[in-house]
Amino acid sequence: MNASSVYKSIVTTFFLTISLTYSAGQPVLYKMGKYYFKKNKYDLSLWFMNQSRNKISRDIRAEYYDILFEIYLKKQKHTIKESASNLSYANRYLKRAYKYKRYSDLEYNQKAQELYDSSLCNMISIIKNGSKTRLVKYFQSHNDELSQFLLSSYNLETNDYNSEHIGLYTYSLKKLINTHKNNRLELSEKSKTQLDELLEKQFLRLFNSNNYKVLKNFMHSEIGMNSFKKNIASQSNVFQQLLSDTLSTISSIDVALSKDFYDKINVIDPSLVSADP
């Protein structure tokens, strides 16, 4: 008998024992789900919860949906895609639990914020990978500047940086920067770090494209730009070292690359060039 069969046998035996022990009331499968939820066995709890969904009476639906929300928010995720799927389900069950008056308005807002923070980190990871996700619908339901930026950033990545989406990206990023300047953007350290990494990646790709001029709009931003400037400084050091050799040892390709590099910097922020040793 393999490990999987032993596991199923144990679960079945335990379930039968509980079935004989519990009296009428809440469905046994639901009680099993609650039991494993309290033990932080989220995958097993979810299995029992799903098995009991057709037997959930109206008076316990609020608790049922609340537990499902917590499971999908907290259960282990093996991939970014799985995490996005779990967060979408968490959003669904949070709204259902609230509909059945499981939370006060304050409790609901706190849980919604916790869900948003988790979704934000996951969405940034997805955008950086250039993947598609169902989380788009979640952020489409939010009108704040950060959500709108994430949507334009997502569209930018999934549409290969075409001109139309660069325009929308520029517009939404300007609004996000203004929100940040006015101290209306609250980010955890983790979220801020991830956002900076995303912007650095996107700024570098824009810098290496024919649309590099749009970066002029963001050179004084406190979001993302510090990392970008450090990367530019590092590239500049490489070119400075290269150009310090005699021209006879430098290939025409390297000369052209360095000229293109400094021409772009001169356009987006001349101070970067003048500050260079």
For residue range 155-200, list pLDDT tens digits in order: 999 998 998 899 999 999 999 988 888 888 888 888 888 998 999 9
Please tell me whether the overall predicted TM-score, pTM, comes out greater than 0.85 for this model. no
How far apart (Å, rounded) are the C-alpha atoms in residues 113 and 23?
Answer: 39
Q: Please say if the pLDDT value at position 272 is more than 80.
A: no
> Which has more pLDDT, 274 or 84?
84
74 Cβ neighbours under 8 A, 6+ residues apart = 40, 42
What is the identity of the amino acid at 81? K
Q: Share the mean pLDDT of the chain.
A: 86
Q: What is the CA radius of gyration of the chain?
A: 26
Q: What confidence score (pLDDT) does residue 277 get?
A: 43
Grade residue 20 by pLDDT with cuts at 50, 70 and 90: very low
Tokens of 254: 């390297």
**Distance (Å) of CA 67 to CA 23, 61, 97, 164:** 22, 10, 9, 43
Residues 148-170, buried b or exposed e (16+ Cβ, 10 A)? bbbbbbbbbbbeebeeebbebbb
How far apart (Å, rounded) are the C-alpha atoms in residues 56 and 187?
Answer: 38
How far apart (Å, rounded) are the C-alpha atoms in residues 212 and 272?
Answer: 15
Grade residue 248 by pLDDT with cuts at 50, 70 and 90: low
For the chain, the three-class secondary structure string (H helix, E strand, C coil) is: CCHHHHHHHHHHHHHHHHHHHCCCCCCHHHHHHHHHHHCCCHHHHHHHHHHCHHHCCHHHHHHHHHHHHHHHHHCCCCCHHHHHHHHHHHHHHHHHHHHCCCCCHHHHHHHHHHHHHHHHHHHHHHHHHCCCCCHHHHHHCCCCHHHHHHHHHHHHHHCCCCHHHHHHHHHHHHHHHHHHHCCCCCCCHHHHHHHHHHHHHHHHHHHCCCCHHHHHHHCCCCCCHHHHHHHHHHHHHHHHHHHCCCHHHCCHHHHHHHHHHHHHHHHHCHHHHHCCC
Q: Which pLDDT tens digit goes with each residue over 79-123? A: 988 999 999 999 999 999 999 999 999 999 999 999 999 999 999
Q: Which of 57, 110, 122, 112 is nearest to 90 (CA)?
A: 112
How far apart (Å, rounded) are the C-alpha atoms in residues 84 and 154?
Answer: 14
Mean pLDDT of the 246-272 span: 82
Q: Which of 151, 165, 129, 263 is nearest to 207 (CA)?
A: 263
